[in-house]
Amino acid sequence: MLTNYREEGGVVEGARSRGLIPIAWLKSDPVAKESTDEFSKRMIEKDGVQGVGGFSICYGFIQDVVKQREGLAIVSNRTPDVQGVIRLLDRPGETHALSNAAYGDRSWPKVVNGERWTQKAIEESLAAGESRDQLVQRLLGVLSTDTMPRKKDNEGWDMYLSQLRHSVFVPALGRDHLDDHNMPTSEIGDEVKHKAADATNGCYGTQKSIVMLVDKAGKVFYLERTFYNRDAKPIEKGQGDRMFEFQIENW
């Protein structure tokens, strides 16, 4: 998974698309059996992570997590060398959150709360002997928790956007919402208002929530919940859900 974040100091000139980075991982030659460490070395030392806008990519083989081997890795455009690669989930019982900031930035309440609430949901589900579907509902509850402070009358829009770090779920800020919040006239504001009629082009907020579960036999359950249609209209809870189950090959 890839998350982006805004670097201090403005736009990176001549930047390559950060979207190429997860594609590079997904297109790795399976015959070569490139390990998580080998990929990070290739990305940092050969392909390079500089000249790309702020990003973090969390990647790896789920087999390494379940079988307690290498776990997952996090590489960002700030990773100086292969020794600086962050490793996660190489032992049981770990819970981690990654948002739109560098990994380890604990100044984001949504990161701290997200970790705590997720761990609690799992522990309570296990204690109650719940089914998979009941656990999924608990996790969706975490993902839908809205603690976003509402904009104050005298609060500038740029200042208000900094509040995004507070809430796991960000309520939609579409055209009507932006007008209600008295968003000041500006080049950026007008652009957002113009595009906000289409959820894929500008209605800002949480568009989807995803829960993925993998058992020790390599069976994957994936649920994707969509909150708004292409006209930025709310979808009735559950009506936009998509579910998939599959077996990981070469387990």
7: three-class secondary structure by DSSP: coil
Distances (CA, A) of 17 to 27, 53, 169, 229: 16, 8, 26, 27
Cα–Cα distance for residue pair 12/16, rounded to 1 Å:
9
- 72-76: strand order across its sheet: 2-4, 55-60, 72-76, 86-88
Tokens of 3: 């998350």
Q: What is the average pLDDT value for the chain, to the nearest integer? A: 83
Q: Which of 21-30, 86-95, 123-132, 153-162 has the lowest mean pLDDT?
A: 153-162
Which amino acid appears at position 46 of this protein? K
Whether the CB-CB separation of 198 and 216 falls below 8 Å is answered with: no
The angle formed by the CA atoms of residues 167, 96 and 74, to the nearest 5 degrees, is 110
Extract the runs of DSSP E, i.e. beta strands, from the chain: 2-4, 55-60, 72-76, 86-88, 208-214, 219-226, 241-247
Cα–Cα distance for residue pair 97/126, rounded to 1 Å:
20
Distances (CA, A) of 92 to 113, 168, 175, 217: 20, 24, 45, 16
The residues spanned by each domain of the chain are 1-105
Mean pLDDT of 161-179: 75
pLDDT in tens, 117-161: 999 999 999 999 999 999 999 999 999 999 988 878 787 777 777
More confident residue, 89 or 119: 119
